């Protein structure tokens, strides 16, 4: 009999442990952190698909540039009729001097290898890589802007959750006052209207809860759309830890974008120089023509020719200096944009740090105010029971304590939000 009871206890204990384990796992699966939300938002954001497109475009462009190392093959031909041809202005006895036809034909293929391009393709590939990095970094800048939007939604929900919890405590205090009134009614030291006044306040508190839950759902729906995961009233948003702000240096993705843009100007500078170099190439041409290379032979004949070709378009020198100056002006524009960005970012950081200092000072005062308001409420609650305080006095004390706690909640969440906003603004 004792053994059976021990087995039964063991089964009960095992069941309780399994239930507790299942409940813990469910809680973990139904909770979110700010870092989780930021990461899921990045992965779920439609713009993230652009990274793949940029990479594919870069691969194709580099493959095309790589073709510059391969010999170029060209097929050409022409048929002409001319009003006069070259003639030999002499006649010899018993010698037939051929006459060249006025209709002439030529079809040939040419194989060429540019010597100059062998040294400039490297710069072309570098420029393609830099442009791809710039486009990727532009996407990174846009995705980074999600951080502020996610922060606002996340901390907004945290604030509403705290307000809902505080409203529960308020309703508990009002209900306690109602209970005290009923005791006073029994003792004949209170009127029924006093209890009705408290019931009205309880209904007002319940209305506030309904409004807060509706607002929370609105915030949660928007956050869920960003992260691609359902958020309901049972989803727990974990409160982030306070941040110790040590590194104040700006490390935003915009700065890398400016550096890449400057780098692209350096590469463009090389390409402008390369564009105006003499074009030297090796070539081999073979074909069929009438006449061929022998102008005195009027029959169709094959031929070939090979050698080195020099081509130099000196008209590029007309715009060379201006193109260089335009590049320098564009680089100056990027410098000004970077300077402006750092100025505005520094200004925002100063405002956010001032907000942090203000919230810290307010929270210190909030704690003292809440302590005093709690003491006043307890005293008024005791007086209400014995009829020495009215329901108006009690509601004033309860509402004052609730307002003090609401202020503290608001300041604490705003402090956390300001700390994380500093991180987002600085990029740390």
Alpha-carbon dihedral sign for residues 228, 230, 233, 234: negative
Confidence of residue 342 (pLDDT cuts 50, 70, 90): very high
Q: What local confidence, expressed as pLDDT, does residue 29 receive?
A: 56
The stretch 265-280 carries a mean pLDDT of 87
Residues in the chain: 428
* Verdict on whether the full-model pTM lies above 0.85: no
What are the structural domain ranges in the chain? Answer: 30-80+123-277+312-426, 280-311
- Return the CATH architecture of domain 30-80+123-277+312-426: Up-down Bundle (1.20)
Q: Give the 3-state secondary structure of the chain.
A: CHHHHHHHHHHHHHHHHHHHHHHHHHHHHCEECHHHHHHHHHHHCHHHHHHHHHHHHHHHHHHHHHHHHCCEEEEEEEEEECCCCCCCCCCCCCCCCCCCCCEEEEEEEEEEEECCHHHHHHHHHHHHHHHHHHHHHHHHHHHHCHHHHHHHHHHHHHHHHHHHHHHHHHHHHHHHHHHHHHHHHHCCCCCHHHHHHHHHHHHHHHHHHHHHHHHHHHHHHHHHHHHCCCCCCCCEECCCCCCCCCCCCCCCHHHHHHHHHHHHHHHHHHHHHHHCCCEEEEEEEEEEEECCCCCCCCCCEEEEEEEEEEECCHHHHHHHHHHHHHHHHHHHHHHHHHHHHHHHHHHHHHHHHHHHHHHHHHHHHHHHHHHHHHHHHHHHHHHHHCCCCCHHHHHHHHHHHHHHHHHHHHHHHHHHHHHHHHHHHHCC
Instruction: Give tens-digit pLDDT for 196-250.
Output: 788 888 899 899 999 999 999 999 999 999 999 898 888 888 988 887 766 678 8
CB-based contacts of 12: which residues, under 8 Å, 6+ apart?
none
- 254 vs 115, residue with greater confidence: 254
Instruction: Give tens-digit pLDDT for 129-140.
Output: 999 999 999 999
Q: What local confidence, expressed as pLDDT, does residue 55 receive?
A: 87
Q: What local confidence, expressed as pLDDT, does residue 367 receive?
A: 93
CA 352 to chain centre: 22
> Using CB atoms within 10 A of its CB, is residue 160 exposed (0-12), middle (13-18) or buried (19+)?
buried
The stretch 290-305 carries a mean pLDDT of 85
In the predicted model, is pLDDT for residue 22 greater than 50? no
CB-based contacts of 275: which residues, under 8 Å, 6+ apart?
316
Q: Give the C-alpha separation, 19 to 178, whole Å.
A: 38
Percentage, residues of the chain above pLDDT 70: 89
Q: Give the C-alpha separation, 223 to 285, whole Å.
A: 67
């Amino acid at each position: 009999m004792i053994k059976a009871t021990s087995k039964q206890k063991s089964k009960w204990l095992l069941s309780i442990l399994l239930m507790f384990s299942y409940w813990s796992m469910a809680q973990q699966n139904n909770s979110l952190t700010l870092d989780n939300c930021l990461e899921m938002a990045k992965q779920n954001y439609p713009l993230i698909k652009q990274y793949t497109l940029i990479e594919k475009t870069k691969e194709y462009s580099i493959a095309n540039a790589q073709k510059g190392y391969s010999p170029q093959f060209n097929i050409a031909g022409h048929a002409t009729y001319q009003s006069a041809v070259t003639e030999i202005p002499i006649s010899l006895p018993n010698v037939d001097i051929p006459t060249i036809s006025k209709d002439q034909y030529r079809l040939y293929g040419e194989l060429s290898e540019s010597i100059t391009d062998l040294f400039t393709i490297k710069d072309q590939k570098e420029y393609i890589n830099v442009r791809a990095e710039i486009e990727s970094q532009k996407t990174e800048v846009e995705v980074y802007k999600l951080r502020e939007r996610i922060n606002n939604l996340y901390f907004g929900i945290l604030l509403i959750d705290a307000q809902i919890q505080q409203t529960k405590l308020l309703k508990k205090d009002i209900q306690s006052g109602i209970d005290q009134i009923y005791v006073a009614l029994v003792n004949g030291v209170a009127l029924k209207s006093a209890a009705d006044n408290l019931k009205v306040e309880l209904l007002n508190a319940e209305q506030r809860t309904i409004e807060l839950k509706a607002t929370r759902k609105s915030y949660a729906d928007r956050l869920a759309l960003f992260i691609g995961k359902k958020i309901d009233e049972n989803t727990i948003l974990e409160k982030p830890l306070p941040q110790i702000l040590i590194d104040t240096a700006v490390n935003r993705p915009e700065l890398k974008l400016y550096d890449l843009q400057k780098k692209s100007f350096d590469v463009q500078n090389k390409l402008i120089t390369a564009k105006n170099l003499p074009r030297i190439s090796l070539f081999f041409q073979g074909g069929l023509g009438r006449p061929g290379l022998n102008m005195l032979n009027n029959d169709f004949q094959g031929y070939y020719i090979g050698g080195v070709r020099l081509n130099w378009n000196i008209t590029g020198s007309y715009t060379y200096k201006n193109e260089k100056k335009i590049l320098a002006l564009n680089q100056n524009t990027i410098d000004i944009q970077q300077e402006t960005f750092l100025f505005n970012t520094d200004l925002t950081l100063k405002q956010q740090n001032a907000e942090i200092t203000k919230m810290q000072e307010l929270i210190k005062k909030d704690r003292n105010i809440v302590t005093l308001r709690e003491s006043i409420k307890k005293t008024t609650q005791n007086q209400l029971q014995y009829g020495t305080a009215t329901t108006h006095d009690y509601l004033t004390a309860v509402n004052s304590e609730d307002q003090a706690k609401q202020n503290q909640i608001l300041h604490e969440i705003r402090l956390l939000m300001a700390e994380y906003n500093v991180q987002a603004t600085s990029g740390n």
